């Protein structure tokens, strides 16, 4: 949610824009850059910091930069791609934001919670504001401190002392050869294109510790470093400092702490190859991703690495939480865990997790599921769980994320980088990881050294993406403008929730989801001859009941689409009941949801494309939701 970059080197235009493209998944409401030449002179004598920003996708900024030649001679730059939180997505509210004297330019990811109060204070001091953003307050605050005699780094520190909320900042100050930065809660990383041998940097040291040669990069995501750096600095919360092309200094204002400098996982490199969109590529990545994930679990999900998970009945309660798609995975995961080992499970969306409060203590395990590992609501759930003394397990895709580092244990789902905003392969890998966790608890009960993952091996062999032509025809059907209803029971209902979310976010078409048994308790009033009701019925024990519910809708004029694992033979007696049937192969019960979701991800994709939309960038959304 908002991506920021900073760069010092010979080619700010190429590097800033290229890195912003990699971060565009974090928001595409607007984009902007600010550049300077540092001590060797500014891009224009009267305008030391050249700021260019445009509303809309990054390509608008790219065109503007190419036409204006604003980066000529510049050596330092910061950039931003925005997901709007404060103020509409126009060019005025786009970052960078500048101080009144034009000496400071700021890009920001996060939310300044006390910005209204700070703005009032600054207005009383004579400052006027041109935008509706919280970020402009930071630029004016830096100017305010500088005018009171603080050197730039001290002005940054002073600002950090008064800012409340979440922020990752990259800041230029006119004619300085440095980029200033600060971080609290929002992710921020730093890398040099060639690293010295030093593996750590020390906070609160006046002398430089992170020496390096070559270009400097600052970014919201390590994906920006993949093509050049083997190591990078992951900044801890409440850190500020500066970086030049030669060195970086990090401060925390209290004492010495070590910053980790970690190896980058080359797997996070993600290319679209010949696919028209990332979403399509990522759906078709699923099989390989599950294979890699399963192989990883076979060697890493062991008693030695996760002793707590292998203790029989170690937890009185297991609580699963996540947001959006990750929450849907949690719903299914809880059922699998309960079935496999009889554990007492509960599920909460991240933003409602505080409701789990009275059930949390050291006998509870909280499983936090997140693709990005940066979702603010899930991070808040983690903080809450830790405060209550519960054990925490982060189930993440982004291995080096905040969630992965902060939880007691981390289990990577290894789906590889996911760029499309709509989560697809990460969801499938989350389901497999939850299956592996359930098998681990079962192994613990049975005193076995490792979980039996043969079901996942079988799944990889049999997983079917379905027939594209058939799925396109369903996309056409769902695009006809009828009222869409999805019904199901148990895990079928959870798959229906995820199918509906994929369709909503990529096609802006509504599909109401109901428990099949609930339809008659009120929602049936919505059904008429203008409705398509899809019955998700892939479980044998609930098949007939779901079918009856679908027929109740049919009796009110709806057309019924059956989504099932049943064979032609098995559905023959009911043949006349259905308008269309979509079949999926049967798998291990605990992994059926992985197979089930695939055709729906593809249907959502085809539906989006048929409407002329870009499925990779749904309107109003961003991939990494770093605000609560
Ligand atoms: C939907 C989607 C979102 C995310 C949610 C949580 O396709 O991608 O609903 O699942 O924002 O994100 P993570 O998993 O990064 O915590």
Average pLDDT taken over every residue of the chain: 91
Query: What was the pLDDT predicted at 195?
Result: 43
Q: Within 10 Å of residue 485's Cβ, how many Cβ atoms? A: 27
**Mean pLDDT for the stretch of residues 391-412:** 94
- Is the pLDDT assigned to residue 200 strictly greater than 60? no
pLDDT band at 259 (very low <50, low <70, confident <90, very high): low
pLDDT band at 361 (very low <50, low <70, confident <90, very high): very high
Spell out which residues line ligand 1, taking CB within 6 angstroms. Answer: 323-326, 370-372, 375, 378, 422-423, 501, 505, 624-625
pLDDT band at 69 (very low <50, low <70, confident <90, very high): confident
- Is the pLDDT assigned to residue 254 strictly greater than 90? no
- Is the pLDDT assigned to residue 203 strictly greater than 50? no
- Is the pLDDT assigned to residue 43 strictly greater than 70? no
- Is the pLDDT assigned to residue 206 strictly greater than 50? no
Cis bond upstream, residue 96 (ω within 30)? yes
Query: What was the pLDDT predicted at 194?
Result: 63
Q: For ligand 1, what atom is nearest to the CA of residue 422? A: 7
Ligand 1 centroid vs 253 CA: distance in angstroms?
34
Q: Is the dihedral of CA 589, 591, 593, 599 positive or negative?
A: negative
Ligand 1 centroid vs 304 CA: distance in angstroms?
31
DSSP string over 232-259: EEEPPTTEEEEE-SS-EEEE-SSS--EE
Name residues whose C-beta falls within 8 Å of residue 304's C-beta, 6 or more positions apart in sequence: none
- What is the best residue among 25, 220, 323 to mutate for testing ligand 1's pocket, by most ligand atoms within 8 Å of CB? 323
**Mean pLDDT for the stretch of residues 36-58:** 77
pLDDT band at 70 (very low <50, low <70, confident <90, very high): confident
CB–CB of 582/557 below 8 Å? no
Catalytic site residues?
2, 623
pLDDT band at 136 (very low <50, low <70, confident <90, very high): very high
Name the percent of the chain lying above pLDDT 90: 78
Name the percent of the chain lying above pLDDT 70: 93
Ligand 1 centroid vs 327 CA: distance in angstroms?
8
Ligand 1 centroid vs 370 CA: distance in angstroms?
7
> Which own/partner contact pairs does 515-518 have at CB distance under 8 Å and 24+ positions apart?
515/487, 515/488, 515/489, 516/487, 516/488, 516/489, 516/542, 516/545, 516/546, 516/549, 516/550, 517/489, 517/545, 517/549
Query: What was the pLDDT predicted at 357?
Result: 87
pLDDT band at 258 (very low <50, low <70, confident <90, very high): low
pLDDT band at 248 (very low <50, low <70, confident <90, very high): confident
Distance of CA 320 to the CA centre of its chain: 18
Query: What was the pLDDT predicted at 261?
Result: 67
Query: What was the pLDDT predicted at 360?
Result: 94
Ligand 1 centroid vs 369 CA: distance in angstroms?
10
User: What is the rounded distance in angstroms from the CA atom of residue 455 to the CA atom of residue 583?
Assistant: 21
**Distance set, CA 1 to CA 20, 82, 398, 448 (Å):** 13, 7, 15, 43
pLDDT band at 201 (very low <50, low <70, confident <90, very high): very low
Q: Which among 455, 511, 526 is positioned nearest to 478, based on CA atoms?
A: 511
- Is the pLDDT assigned to residue 318 strictly greater than 90? yes
Q: For ligand 1, what atom is nearest to the CA of residue 403? A: 16
The residue whose CA has the least distance to atom 5 of ligand 1 is 324
Instruction: Give the tokens for residue 226.
Output: 């993949």
User: What is the rounded distance in angstroms from the CA atom of residue 510 to the CA atom of residue 323?
Assistant: 19
pLDDT band at 198 (very low <50, low <70, confident <90, very high): very low
The residue whose CA has the least distance to atom 10 of ligand 1 is 325
| Choice among 125-139, 350-364, 427-441, 491-505 with the minimum mean pLDDT | 350-364
User: What is the rounded distance in angstroms from the CA atom of residue 237 to the CA atom of residue 185?
Assistant: 6
The residue whose CA has the least distance to atom 6 of ligand 1 is 323
- Is the pLDDT assigned to residue 476 strictly greater than 50? yes
Radius of gyration, CA atoms only, the chain: 26
Query: What was the pLDDT predicted at 72?
Result: 83
Q: Which among 247, 268, 293 is positioned nearest to 401, based on CA atoms?
A: 268
Ligand 1 centroid vs 28 CA: distance in angstroms?
17
Ligand 1 centroid vs 553 CA: distance in angstroms?
32
Per-residue pLDDT reduced to its tens digit, 549-589: 999 999 999 999 999 999 999 999 888 889 999 999 999 99
- What is the best residue among 320, 330, 423 to mutate for testing ligand 1's pocket, by most ligand atoms within 8 Å of CB? 423
Distance of CA 197 to the CA centre of its chain: 32
The residue whose CA has the least distance to atom 7 of ligand 1 is 422
Q: Within 10 Å of residue 357's Cβ, how many Cβ atoms? A: 11
Residue 46, Cβ density class (10 Å: 0-12 exposed, 13-18 middle, ≥19 buried): exposed
Query: What was the pLDDT predicted at 523?
Result: 93
- What is the best residue among 326, 382, 503 to mutate for testing ligand 1's pocket, by most ligand atoms within 8 Å of CB? 326
- Is the pLDDT assigned to residue 42 strictly greater than 50? no
Ligand 1 centroid vs 424 CA: distance in angstroms?
10
Ligand 1 centroid vs 500 CA: distance in angstroms?
14
CB–CB of 628/494 below 8 Å? no
Query: What was the pLDDT predicted at 76?
Result: 94
**Mean pLDDT for the stretch of residues 617-623:** 91
**Mean pLDDT for the stretch of residues 91-103:** 96
**Mean pLDDT for the stretch of residues 525-552:** 96
Query: What was the pLDDT predicted at 267?
Result: 53
**Mean pLDDT for the stretch of residues 295-301:** 97
Instruction: Give the tokens for residue 242.
Output: 């500066």
Place of tokens 């809309």: 56
First to last CA, the chain: 11
Q: For ligand 1, what atom is nearest to the CA of residue 421? A: 8
Per-residue pLDDT reduced to its tens digit, 607-618: 999 999 999 999
DSSP letter for 203, please.
B
Q: Which among 591, 302, 295 is positioned nearest to 455, based on CA atoms?
A: 591
User: What is the rounded distance in angstroms from the CA atom of residue 215 to the CA atom of residue 75?
Assistant: 10
């Amino acid at each position: 949610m908002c991506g920021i970059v900073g760069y010092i080197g010979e080619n700010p235009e190429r590097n800033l824009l290229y890195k912003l493209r990699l971060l565009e998944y974090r928001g595409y409401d607007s984009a902007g850059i600010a550049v300077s030449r540092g001590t060797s002179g500014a891009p224009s004598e009267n305008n030391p910091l050249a700021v260019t920003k445009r509303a809309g996708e990054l390509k608008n900024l790219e065109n503007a930069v190419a036409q204006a030649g604003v980066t000529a001679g510049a050596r330092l730059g910061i950039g931003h791609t925005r997901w709007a939180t404060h103020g509409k997505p126009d060019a005025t509210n786009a970052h960078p934001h500048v101080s009144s004297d034009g000496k400071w330019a700021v890009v920001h990811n996060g939310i300044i919670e006390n910005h209204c109060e700070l703005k009032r204070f600054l207005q009383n001091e004579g400052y006027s504001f041109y935008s509706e953003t919280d970020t402009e307050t930071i630029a004016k605050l830096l100017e305010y401190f500088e005018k009171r005699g603080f050197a730039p780094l001290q002005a940054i520190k002073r600002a950090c002392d008064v800012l409340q909320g979440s922020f990752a900042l990259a800041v230029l100050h006119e004619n300085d050869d440095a980029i200033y930065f600060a971080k609290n809660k929002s992710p921020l990383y730093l890398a040099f294109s060639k690293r010295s041998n030093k593996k750590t940097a020390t906070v609160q040291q006046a002398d430089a510790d992170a020496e390096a040669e070559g270009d400097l990069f600052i970014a919201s995501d390590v994906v920006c470093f993949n093509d050049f750096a083997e190591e990078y600095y992951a900044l801890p919360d409440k850190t500020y400092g500066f970086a030049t092309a030669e060195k970086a200094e990090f401060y925390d204002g209290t004492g010495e702490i070590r910053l980790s400098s970690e190896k980058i996982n080359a797997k996070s490199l993600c290319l679209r190859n010949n696919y028209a969109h990332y979403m399509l590529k990522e759906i078709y990545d699923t099989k390989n991703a599950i294979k890699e994930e399963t192989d990883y679990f076979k060697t890493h999900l062991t008693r030695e690495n996760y002793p707590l998970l292998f203790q029989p009945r170690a937890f009185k309660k297991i609580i699963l939480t996540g947001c959006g798609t990750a929450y849907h995975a949690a719903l299914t995961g809880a059922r699998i865990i309960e079935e496999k080992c009889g554990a007492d499970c509960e599920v909460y969306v991240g933003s409602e997790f505080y409701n789990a409060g009275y059930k949390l203590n050291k006998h509870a395990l909280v499983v936090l599921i997140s693709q990005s590992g940066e979702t603010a609501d899930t991070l808040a759930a983690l903080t809450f769980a830790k405060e209550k003394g519960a054990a925490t397990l982060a189930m993440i895709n982004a291995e080096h994320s905040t969630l992965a580092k902060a939880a007691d244990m981390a289990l990577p789902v290894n789906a590889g980088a996911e760029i499309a905003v709509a989560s697809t392969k990460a969801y499938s890998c989350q389901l497999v990881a939850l299956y592996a966790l359930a098998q681990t608890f079962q192994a613990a009960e049975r005193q076995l050294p490792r979980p039996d993952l043969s079901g996942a091996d079988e799944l990889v062999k049999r997983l079917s993406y379905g027939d594209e032509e058939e799925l396109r025809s369903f996309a056409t059907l769902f695009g006809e403008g009828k009222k869409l209803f999805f019904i199901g029971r148990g895990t079928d209902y959870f798959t229906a929730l995820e199918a509906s979310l994929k369709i909503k976010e990529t096609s802006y078409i509504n599909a109401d989801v109901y428990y099949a048994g609930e339809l008659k308790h009120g929602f049936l009033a919505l059904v008429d001859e203008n409705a398509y009701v899809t019955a998700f019925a892939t479980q044998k024990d609930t098949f007939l009941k779901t079918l009856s519910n679908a027929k109740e809708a049919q009796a009110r004029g709806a057309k019924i689409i059956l989504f099932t694992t049943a064979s032609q033979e098995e559905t023959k007696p009911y043949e006349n009941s259905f308008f269309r049937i979509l079949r999926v192969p049967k798998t291990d019960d605990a992994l059926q949801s992985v197979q089930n979701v695939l055709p729906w991800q593809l249907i959502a994709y085809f539906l989006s494309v048929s409407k002329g939309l870009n499925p990779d960038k749904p309107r109003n959304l961003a991939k990494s939701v770093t605000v609560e």
